[in-house]
Amino acid sequence: MKVALSTIIVLTILVYPFAVYFGIQYFSPTFFACILILVALARFCLLTNEKTLSAQLIFVLTVVYSGSIYLFDSENLLLLYPAFISLIMCMLFGASLGQKHTIVERMAIAGGTSITPNMTKYTWRLTAIWSGILLVNTCLSVYLAFYSSREAWAVYTGFVCYVIFGGIFLVEYVYRQYFISKYGP
């Protein structure tokens, strides 16, 4: 059940821009707002032991934002949802730069990687880079929501940004292998 629900959540998030693009002519923003609230609730319920302060904050912000879409029946707020998510992620990554362990370092530790001082510096820099990438993505998503066609918005937020992120992950993975071979883990 947990795997099926997780799969549905991921698929819903991935197809969101195209669902809005094709569905807005048939459904109001309030319909999509209800789906976003249900997805946020399902995602939060799946975090059984991981309901950290940041997870709780993301849940509350997502429900408030989705509630605003519902309350104002706003297509603009609906189109800004990918920017909203990107901004939240940017803030999480950026805020972790001032903590003992950055979000990237915590993910590495959770994945079983032992962290050396070299890797701590590496993960700090990588977190800073992701913060910048997420900020640029937020700005592009906002621009497209207000100043481009709905088609351009859907293609960027539903496909191009995923390709860019995947490319960045791939480049980082290759560079990490080089970094580890040259400087050690």
3 state SS of 166 = helix
pLDDT, one tens digit per residue, over 4-28 is: 888 888 888 889 999 999 999 999 9
Q: Report whether 81 contacts 65 (CB < 8 A).
A: yes
pLDDT, one tens digit per residue, over 113-147 is: 888 888 899 999 999 999 999 999 999 999 999 99
DSSP assignment letter at 51: -
Place 81 in a pLDDT band, splitting at 50, 70 and 90: very high
Model confidence, pTM: 0.90
Tokens at residue 149, please? 């066609």
Q: Is the dihedral of CA 139, 145, 147, 153 positive or negative?
A: positive
Tokens at residue 57, please? 């904050």
Task: Look at residue 134 in the predicted model and tell me its pLDDT.
Answer: 98
